[in-house]
Structure 1
């Protein structure tokens, strides 16, 4: 079932399955604000957000496009998360439901990034599973290049009791210490944690006490990012409560270092899948 909704003044759409799983998506940024599965909210959403329809939303799943972080001349994490998308399609039955949201280049985007494109985010809900698929269609006569991420904020009960496995041996860049190495068998979190990994071939396992969420991504994303601001950085973020770091962990499908190139008239597709285990 799908319904229209309003959350904190933002126009939204909601998918619901007979099993009770739901997902809520705002038209601003095609931003997934909530994913509830097996009676528990699985995404962290900051209670300190501004909710003015323009500022970036902290939490949920921001779509970072066409730039990752500040690695370029565009606004931080690009502009896609700050602008309105449109609902292009929806479908639902007892086994699955999905929304397709679309952002096409326009005068506003071209003033920031002179590129013609159509981006689409498919939000697919199945029992115990959420799949986000981002496609970028280059409608220009020139090649298109971008970086980005599905900047997923997972909800955890306590970051001190949370660990991540599945990245062992992958190339690692610790952005806090600015050192390169390889990932440990298990990642633990004590203070600020901001690391970029070569994408692993299998699923990552995020354990939060007794709960587990498995995170997979398509090979078309080159990296995985794991981030927690820790107490000191969190206290400096105006759109986060001071204890917010203890209740979230970002695990992101990302393209950080080398841009993805899409020839004129061609299309790229990348996905991330979250499964309650």
Structure 2
């Protein structure tokens, strides 16, 4: 019998509408897909189960961004000035970076891809700053998904530039009423539904009963998104480059007016992402910023009708 072909840890192939994508695979069965359009992770699976949400009406047609997965918001989160909402990184074509600078990475990680984005002439008209944005997407042997961004000011005019940033991560969930987010208790947040006024979180955990669009300031390095029905906890880890966290769900009325989101999609998604939004990042020429987000999914179990806190803590360690 012929030997089995070696596992292709990294494969460049065609995706929806002929758009190029990179498929990452690990020997234990986990996988991820990254579209060069947007530098966007659109799939993350463990044991065949999809862990990220993609809208039932998602466009895979440039120049529209892809609704779902992990859009990269750069050089802004939100809608300010002449730039499109959430910046241009998510609707530009990235290229595979053949000669990236050294990235700190797990030596056991073989399933990874390095992408790079540089400004086009059109970009420079709307945002006149020279930069190199390098992104590494890696799939760990245990199925963890890691995104590391490096942004460098490459200008020669001696001028600094400022930006904000977010990994706008869409998690796939059973039902929004069955989910809570832990780790953001007592924090101050900016409420985008109230003209970015600042409030303090009062609940023991974040639960969802209506539209939510918040930026939590000074969030801890680990957050938990707990899905009671699926008995699963997503653990989000982030580094010092991403001090904040975003939480978003459009709820029913907003979902109906978002053209690339199904009317009922809001029930099966929650956006929680590492971000640097509360204070703009300033880069002088030659300086580089780095921001890393790592995702894992761990089982949760019930104890007397409640989620067993010991299991959640084990996932956070």
In which range does the TM-score fall when normalised by the shorter chain? over 0.9
**Equivalents in 1 of 2:32, 2:53: separation in Å?**
13
1:24-43 aligned within 5 A? 24-43=33-52
Larger Rg: 2
Give the alignment partner of residue 191 of structure 2, picking from 163, 170, 174: 174
What does 1:1-277 align with in structure 2 at a 5 Å threshold? 1-9=9-17, 10-89=19-98, 95-126=109-140, 127-141=142-156, 142-178=159-195, 179-183=197-201, 184-209=203-228, 210-277=231-298
Q: Structure 1: which 5+ residue stretches go unaligned?
A: none
Superposition deviation, residue 94 in structure 1? 6.6
State the shift of 1:92 in Å.
Answer: 11
Match of 2:313 in 1: none
Distance change >3 Å, CA 94–CA 20, structure 1 → 2: farther
Q: For the aligned residues, what is the CA RMSD?
A: 1.9
Write out per-residue CA displacement over residues 30-82 of structure 1, whole angstroms, 9 at most, x where no aligned residue.
01110112332111011202221210110001111111111343111111111
Secondary structure of 2:97 counterpart: strand
Are 2:215 and 2:278, in contact at CA under 8 Å, matched by a contact in 1?
no
- TM-score (normalised: structure 1): 0.94
| TM-score normalised over the length of structure 2 | 0.83
Q: What is the count of residue pairs matched by the alignment?
A: 277
Counterpart Cα distance in 2 of 1:93 and 1:23: 19
Query: Does the aligned pair in 1 maintain the 2:109–2:138 contact within 8 Å?
Result: no
Structure 2 unaligned regions, length at least 5? 1-8, 299-317
- Secondary structure of the 1:268 match is strand
Instruction: Determine the C-alpha separation between the residues in 1 that align with 2:33 and 2:106.
Output: 14
**Following TM superposition, by how much is the alpha carbon of 1:174 offset from its aligned partner in structure 2, in angstroms?**
2.6
Distance in 1 of aligned mates of 2:252 and 2:233: 24
Mapped to 1, the partners of 2:80 and 2:121 lie a distance apart of 23
Change (3 A) 1:197 1:92: closer
| SS at structure 1 position matched to 2:281 | strand
In the other structure, the counterpart of 2:302 is none
